[in-house]
Structure 1
Amino acid sequence: MECFDVAIVGYGPTGATLAHLLGQCGVSVVILEREGNAYHLPRAVHLDAEVMRTLQWAGIADALEPKTAPHPGMRFVGADGRLLLDWPRPQGQGPQGWRANYRFHQPDLEKLLRDHMAERETVSVRTRCDVVSLKERKDGVELRYEDRRNGRTCRVSAKYVVGCDGARSLVRGVIRAGMEDFGFHERWLVIDAILNREKPELGDHSVQYCVPERPATYVRCPGLRRRWEITVRPEEDANEIARPARVWELLSRWLTPDEAELERSVVYTFHSLVAKSWRKGRLLLAGDACHQTPPFMGQGMCAGIRDVANLYWKLALICQGSITATAAERLLDSYESERKPNAREYIATAVRLGGLINTCGTQEALRAAFPSADGAARMESIAPPLGKGLGTGDKAGRLFGQPRLSGGALMDDVHPHRFVVVADADLVDQLSAPEGTAIVSTTASADAAEHLAQVGARAVILRPDRYILGAADTAEELTQLLSDRLPDPVAA
């Protein structure tokens, strides 16, 4: 029986990104995916700078960026056309080394992820393979799957299994993880259209129409692609409302049939759920398998990419055999304790935004959802820290920016998958860092001092996922932090 370090069930963006990152660390991976090809129609349409930075590590961000569209922000508009809530997004390169937000076409992302997987020599991709059972043993997990190309039942084993297999996750079923319900379950008609020519009056902003009779969302996507999401009333039939004639009726305030082609119209039920357990022994969950969110924050796929950015380096450390069994358990436990609060906050905010839309955008609803709002309010982007896990101090668990080094390269391109010390030059002049730990001083980077000032520290130790492990203001504090930190994963 073939043996791997990690088996990934599911080959969507979450599973594929995890495979790239593990493969770069020399971890042997098998991906088992029941479908033969990536889904060819649009799904997720938004990603943010943190996700783009993770795709930078995977080696595809530079190829993806030209295929994206800028995202200036989101506006909530009342039935009378009055602006209720403005959510502007920063433009230009931000602290992560990328623009704050992007609109993208998911098939473009999936093609890049899959095309570049050939570069990962330790990753084996097996499509049309339907996992039918998982059996955990003392030193690993046995997976049985049906190879649908020939009807044979096959077996592989892995030290760990990560279920990236979506909302109906088989792996979650094996774990028997219940779901925490945030109470949002609504049917929305999702319409993807391709314009025949530019229509500037539609605008580049996303717009939430808080209209009493039919709340709706407009999203500008790359090129000539545009998306609308429109509420489906309880009495309406899902098949009937998705028929082209009815779709064009619903789009009539924005678009006519001679201006665009319909690419897709389908009714989805948006949920707000978080798995109560993300791990059982050697089985773990990531992406939609452990959380589902309404789309109003654009964080569905982003949350899955954040999951695997948190998880990959921990699995790599364990699979490389460089830490004790006790340390391995601590690392795996920290995955859920760190990621779940972050995911929950995004989902809770999305539910509040959904409530604002569905209560028709009254000022009372605005104040209830956002107590600090006054009149036509401006919403600031949230960036929740990680939950309690690794590291110490009040700055642990905060995402750090990406300095640009003196030669012009971004830090993560030079020091991938490593712990990194970023510090004022006088703190690292005599520093003896552990083997494999990179050092970026304020004299070796044009903007490292700015990044340190943002978090209010003179030195930080960054984990491979670029969250802060600890911060220091003296050479003695920094030396102590380094002596306590975890071993470094070795990149392939």
Structure 2
Amino acid sequence: MEHFDVAIVGYGPAGATLAHLLGACGVKTLVLERESAHYHLPRAVHFDAEVMRAFQWIGIADEMAPKTHRHPGMQFVDRDGKMLLDWPRPQGEGPQAWNANYRFHQPDLEELLRDRMADRPEVTVRSRCEVFNIDDQGDKVELRYEDMTKGKVHHVTAKYVVGCDGARSLVRRYIESDMEDYGFHERWLVVDVILNEDKPELGDHSIQYCVPERPATYVRTPGMRRRWEITVLPEEASHEIAKPERVWELLSDWLKPDEAELERTAVYTFHSLVAKDWREGRLFLAGDACHQTPPFMGQGMCAGTRDVVNLYWKLALICKGLVTGAAAEKLLDTYESERKPNAAEYIKTAVRLGGLINTVGTEEALRAALPSADGSARMESIAPPIGPGLGDGSNKAGRLFGQPRMSDGARMDDVFPHAFVVVAEADLAEGLTLPDGVGLVTSDNSNAADHLARLGARATVLRPDRHTLGGADTKAELEALIARILPNPLQPSSETQQPEMA
């Protein structure tokens, strides 16, 4: 019987990204996917700098960037098009060493993720293979799946199984996790079109039409593609409102039928759900399998990427035998405790934003809903820390740290991939003794001082997922943080001419 370190059920963006990250760390990985190919029509349309940074780690960021459209921000308007609120997004390279936001066509991303998987000898991908039984046997997990191309049942084992298998997750059923409900359940019609000719008056911003009787959202996506999301009223039948003639009627304020082709129409019920349990024994959940969000923050795929970025290096340390026994169990428990509060905060914010779009229709109502010190209405981006886990318990722990540029212009993560990194002001780093494989970035060899100033500390220790273990202002505090680095930390790959993982 074949045996793998990690088996991933599902080959969407979260599953594929996890497979790339595990493969980059030398973890023997199996991906099982019931479909024969990736979905060819648009789904997710937004990701942020944190996600692009993960794409950098797996080597697709530079190829993905030209396929995206830069996102200038979001505007809230009333029924007459009057601006109620302008929410601009930062432009140019930000703290993560990438742009703050990107609009994209999901099939472009999935094709790139799958094409580059051929460069991962550690990863085995089997499509048209449907998992139907999962048995956690304590020391390993046995999976049974059907190869639907041949009608043959196979048995394999893995040390761990990660369910990246979507909202109707089979793995979640085996974990028997209920979902916590944050109260948002609404039907929206999602319409994707391809313009016949450019229509500049539609604009590059995302636009929230605050019309209480029929809220709607417009999204500018790459090339000639454009998207609208339109509320479906309670008395309207989903199959009727999705018919082309009704769709064109709803789009009549923006488009005529001869100006574009309908690429896709679908009615979705947007939910706000978070799984109560993200892990049971050797089974884990990631992506839509453990959280579902309304689309108003554009964080659905982003959240799934954050999940796998948090999980991959922990599984790699354990599968390579670098963390064992009770320490391994404690490390795996931090996955849920760290990720769940962060995902929940994004979902709660999306629910609040959805309620805002649904109810306000005037500038006065918007100011009342989003008060600020100067009496105006203002939207602010959120960046919640991860929950309690490996940090030192301070308010500087669990923060996503930026990506310094080294003196030669290189991005830090390209120099120290998949490694713990100490980032410090130069004088604080003098005379430090670091464990093998731990990187050191100082204010002398990079622009680290700018990033440390944002954290409000003179030094920090970064995990492989680039969250902080805490902050330090003295050498003693920094040495205490370094002592929190896990024994025998994950080594960078051989591509950087540093030691390979044993």
TM range (shorter): over 0.9
* Letter in structure 2 aligned against 1:118: A
- The answer to whether the Cα contact below 8 Å between 2:398 and 2:468 also exists between their aligned partners in 1 is yes
User: 1:187 & 1:94 partners in 2: Cα distance?
Assistant: 35
Report how far residue 368 of structure 1 moved. 6.2
- Within 5 Å, give how 1:28-427 maps onto structure 2: 28-362=28-362, 366=366, 369-372=369-372, 377-392=377-392, 393-427=394-428
User: CA-to-partner distance for each residue in 1:158-203, whole Å, 9 max, x for gaps?
Assistant: 0000000000000001101000101111111100001111111000
Matching residue's letter, 1:200: P
Q: Which amino acid aligns with 1:99?
A: N
Pair 1:196–1:294, CA change in 2 (3 A)? same
Using the TM superposition, give the Cα deviation of residue 53 of structure 1 relative to its aligned residue in structure 2, in angstroms: 0.4
- Relative to 1, partners in 2 of residues 1:462 and 1:359: Cα closer, same or farther, differing over 3 Å? same
- Count residues in correspondence: 491
Does the 8 Å contact 2:420/2:485 carry over to 1? no
User: Which digits, 9 at most, give the CA deviation of each residue in 1:278-299, with x for residues without a partner?
Assistant: 0001000000000000000000
Which residue in 2 is equivalent to 1:440? 441
Bigger drift between 375-384 and 428-437 goes to: 375-384
- Contact 1:70-1:103 at 8 Å conserved across structures: yes
Distance in 2, Cα, partners of 1:373 & 1:207? 25
Give the distance between the partners of 1:459 and 1:261, measured in 2 at CA: 54
Structure 2: distance between partners of 1:62 and 1:437 = 26
TM-superposition CA deviations, 1:437-467 (whole Å, max 9, x none): 010111111x111111111111110000000
Cα distance, 1:82 vs structure 2: 2.9
Q: Deviations over 1:396-420 (max 9, x none)?
A: 1001000011111100011000000
Task: State the distance in 1 between where 2:331 and 2:371 align.
Answer: 37
Task: Summarize deviations over 1:97-146 as a string: whole Å, max 9, x none.
Answer: 00000000000000110000011111000000000010001211000001
Q: Give yes or no for contact 2:360–2:366 (8 Å, CA) kept in 1.
A: no
Q: Give the 3-state SS of the residue equivalent to 2:150 in structure 1.
A: coil
Report the CA distance between 1:243 and its aligned residue.
1.0
Partner of 1:465: 465
Secondary structure of the corresponding residue to residue 272 of structure 1: strand
1:482 aligns with 482
Contact 1:26 1:491 in 2 (8 A): no
Instruction: Decide whether aligned partners of structure 1 residues 326 and 248 sit closer, same or farther in structure 2, where only a CA change above 3 A counts.
Output: same
Deviation per residue, 1:212-246 (Å, 9 max, x gap):
33111000000110000011111111111111111
- TM-score, with length taken from structure 2: 0.96
Q: Is the 8 A contact 2:193 2:260 kept in 1?
A: yes
CA distance in 2, matches of 1:484, 1:400: 17
SS in 2 for 1:351: helix
Q: Which residue of 1 aligns with 2:500?
A: none
Question: What is the distance in 2 between the residues matched to 1:97 and 1:339?
Answer: 23
Contact in 2 for aligned 1:363/1:375 (Cα 8 Å): no
TM-score normalised by L of structure 1: 0.98
- Do the aligned residues in 1 keep the contact of 2:337 with 2:388 (CA within 8 Å)? yes
Equivalent residues of 1:356, 1:365 under 8 A apart: no
Which ranges in structure 1 are unaligned for 5 or more consecutive residues? Answer: none
Q: CA RMSD in A?
A: 1.3
Post-superposition shift, 1:85? 2.7
Given that residues 86 and 377 in structure 1 are in contact (C-alpha distance below 8 angstroms), is that contact kept between their aligned partners in structure 2?
Answer: no
Aligned-partner residue type, residue 394 of structure 1: N
Residue in structure 1 matched with residue 498 of structure 2 by the alignment: none
How far apart are the structure 1 equivalents of 2:227 and 2:375? 28
1:208–1:218 CA contact under 8 A, matched in 2: yes
1:298-337 residue CA offsets vs partner (Å, 9 max, x unmatched) = 0000000000010101111111111131111111111111
Shift of 1:211: 1.1
Tell me the distance in 1 between the aligned counterparts of 2:201 and 2:364.
Answer: 30
Deviates more, 1:370-379 or 1:419-428: 370-379
Over 3 Å counting, the alpha-carbon distance change for 1:202 and 1:30 in structure 2 is same
Query: How far off is 1:150 after superposition?
Result: 0.2
3-state DSSP class of the match of 1:44? coil
One-letter amino acid matched to 2:125 = V
Whole-angstrom distance in 2 between the partners of 1:49 and 1:149: 39
**Using a 3 Å threshold, how does the CA distance of structure 1 residues 208 and 374 change in structure 2: closer, same or farther?**
farther
Q: List runs of 5+ in structure 2 lacking aligned partners.
A: 494-502
Q: Distance in 1 between matches of 2:115 and 2:369?
A: 43
